[in-house]
């Protein structure tokens, strides 16, 4: 953590050219998100290929200008096999909202700390859901309440607001893919959230629930982009492996650090 903090202290705000490249890649990822469709790319030998995997795309595609610059940085961040489209949508939202909020080097470091906390919280979610994380972006939105509580305890709500905004973006991307209104889907998902009794302690109301309780509010009802319907996405085939969720957030942390470590591109 200390090494990553030192890098972020040196390199805020992020280089606009790299941020634009990440945003461009995230826009492509959002168009494919949950659709099951393929993307075509050209490799270094001039051959054309198609793949559903953004990991394959970033590793092998010859991308022009800003997308190529961003992809080169992302490759240095050890691209995981799965969860890359989700990670790009998150990373793009963090950069966009962070720049808009005028994040300082300390703010970026605090965001990294919150991402680490979110990743450490995921096994708790999986234990309460038969070992899986809810799909459809729900496991990310489930992190919003504990992240906010953690940030309040550390008196750092500004970074939490940026992260919580980003955590909702994969759900909104799924809605866009399915051709439905993202705001409406978001409100329906929130309305179908579990009993809010267990959220009281998470948002700071003391003695509302035992601190060692195994219960959390896990969002399970979300949008299935295959048919545009709201349904339980907590189990197979919609559920997400815990390792994939952890790798996704770890990749976002590494990628954010790499982007912030570059002051300019030539």
- For 76-95, the pLDDT digits (tens) are 999 999 999 999 999 999 99
pLDDT band at 190 (very low <50, low <70, confident <90, very high): confident
Percent of the chain with pLDDT over 90: 71
Q: Which CATH architecture has domain 2-260?
A: Orthogonal Bundle (1.10)
Cβ burial, residue 64 (10 Å; 0-12/13-18/19+): exposed
- Residue 229 has which token pair? 């319907």
Whole-model pTM?
Answer: 0.88
Q: Which of 67-71, 167-171, 213-217 has the lowest mean pLDDT?
A: 213-217
Check pLDDT > 80 for residue 225: yes
Q: How far apart are CA 154 and CA 156, in angstroms?
A: 6
Q: Are 123 and 140 in contact (CB under 8 A)?
A: no
Residue in 121, 69, 119 with CA at minimum distance from that of residue 244: 119
Candidates 96, 125, 110; CA nearest to 30 is 96
pLDDT for residue 103: 92
- For the chain, give every domain's residue range: 2-260
Q: For 26-53, what is each residue's pLDDT tens digit?
A: 999 999 998 989 999 999 999 999 999 9
Q: Which two tokens stand for residue 185?
A: 């889907």
Say yes or no to pLDDT of 17 above 50. yes
In this structure, how many other beta carbons lie within 10 angstroms of the beta carbon of residue 188?
Answer: 15
CA-nearest of 10, 4, 242, 248 to 126 is: 242
Q: pLDDT tens digits for 110-125? A: 999 999 999 999 999 9
Structure tokens at 37: 């469709």
């Amino acid at each position: 953590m200390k090494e990553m903090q030192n890098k972020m202290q040196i390199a805020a705000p992020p280089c606009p050219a790299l941020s634009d490249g990440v945003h461009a890649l995230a826009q492509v990822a959002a168009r494919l998100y949950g659709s099951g469709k393929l993307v075509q790319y050209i490799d270094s030998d001039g051959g054309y290929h198609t793949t559903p995997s953004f990991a394959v795309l970033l590793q092998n595609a010859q991308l022009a200008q800003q997308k190529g610059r961003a992809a080169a940085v992302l490759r240095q961040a050890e691209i995981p096999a799965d969860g890359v489209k989700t990670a790009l949508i998150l990373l793009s939202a963090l950069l966009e909202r962070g720049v808009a909020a005028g994040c300082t080097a300390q703010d970026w470091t605090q965001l990294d700390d919150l991402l680490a906390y979110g990743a450490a919280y995921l096994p708790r979610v999986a234990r309460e859901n038969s070992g899986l994380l809810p799909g459809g972006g729900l496991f990310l939105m489930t992190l919003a309440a504990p992240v906010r509580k953690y940030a309040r305890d550390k008196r750092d709500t500004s970074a939490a607001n940026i992260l919580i905004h980003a955590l909702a973006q994969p759900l909104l991307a799924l809605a866009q893919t399915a051709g439905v209104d993202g705001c409406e889907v978001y409100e329906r998902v929130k309305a179908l959230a579990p009993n809010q009794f267990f959220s009281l302690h998470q948002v700071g109301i003391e003695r509302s629930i035992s601190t060692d309780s195994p219960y959390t509010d896990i969002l399970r009802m979300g949008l299935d982009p295959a048919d545009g319907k709201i349904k339980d996405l907590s189990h197979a085939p919609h559920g997400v492996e815990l390792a994939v969720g952890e790798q996704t957030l770890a990749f976002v942390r590494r990628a954010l650090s790499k982007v912030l470590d570059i002051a300019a591109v030539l």
